[in-house]
Structures are given as structure tokens and as C-alpha cells.
Amino acid sequence: MLLNCEICNGVGRRAAQTRSFVYAGQNLRCLQFVACCDVCGHCWRDEAYSNANLQHVEQACHVEVNRQQAANEFRSSIADATDAL
Ligand SMILES: [Zn+2]
């Protein structure tokens, strides 16, 4: 797969960036692939990586949902335990 820079038409290669976004009231971060030009250094989001990037976002959201569910279950189990006292 060849990626061409829109500025200088040089050859781009895959690079990884960290993307921050807000989900369920939390700041989440995940990996995002971009293409970076070897010649001029221009980086851009390429459609070639859009599926992979979407998966990274979904994974980060999934982890956050699991984390919140675990926290809620922990809280309710503490509430149950203290009710029984
Ligand atoms: Zn370039």
C-alpha cells in the first residue's frame, strides 16, 4: 500500500499518534495511525487506517465501560455488605 503526500507527493509511512477524546464523561486516550511523509514531514490521517483507528477508539471506549461497570458493581457490593451490618 503506497501513501502519497498531498503536499509534495513524497512517500508516506505509517506512524502512531495518541488521540485524546471524551467518552462517558472520561478523558480517554488511544493509539491512532497516521501517514507521515518521509520527504517533507507532513502527517495526515489516511483512509487506509480509518478502520484500524476506529477499532482503537472502540477498544478504549469498551475498556472504559468495563471499568465503570466494575466500579459500579464494587460500589453496590459494598452497599450490600454495609446494609447487612
Ligand atoms: Zn511530503
Q: What is the mean pLDDT of the chain?
A: 94
Q: Residue 20 Cα, ligand 1 centroid: separation in angstroms?
A: 25
The beta strands (E) that lie in the chain are given as 3-4, 11-23, 26-37, 43-44
Give the rounded percent of residues in the chain with a pLDDT score beyond 70: 99
Tell me how far the alpha carbon of residue 29 lies from the centroid of ligand 1, in angstroms.
Answer: 27
Instruction: Encode 19-36: b = buried (16+ Cβ within 10 Å), e = exposed.
Output: eeeeeeeeebebebbbbb
Q: How many domains does the chain have?
A: 1
Question: What is the distance in A from the centroid of ligand 1 to the CA of 13?
Answer: 11
Q: Check whether 40 has a pLDDT greater than 80.
A: yes
Please tell me the pTM assigned to this model: 0.78
Instruction: Please determine, for residue 35, whether its predicted confidence score (pLDDT) is greater than 90.
Output: yes
CATH code at position 31: 3.10.20
- Domain span holding position 33: 3-83
Tell me the pLDDT tens digit for each residue of 45-63: 999 999 999 999 999 999 9
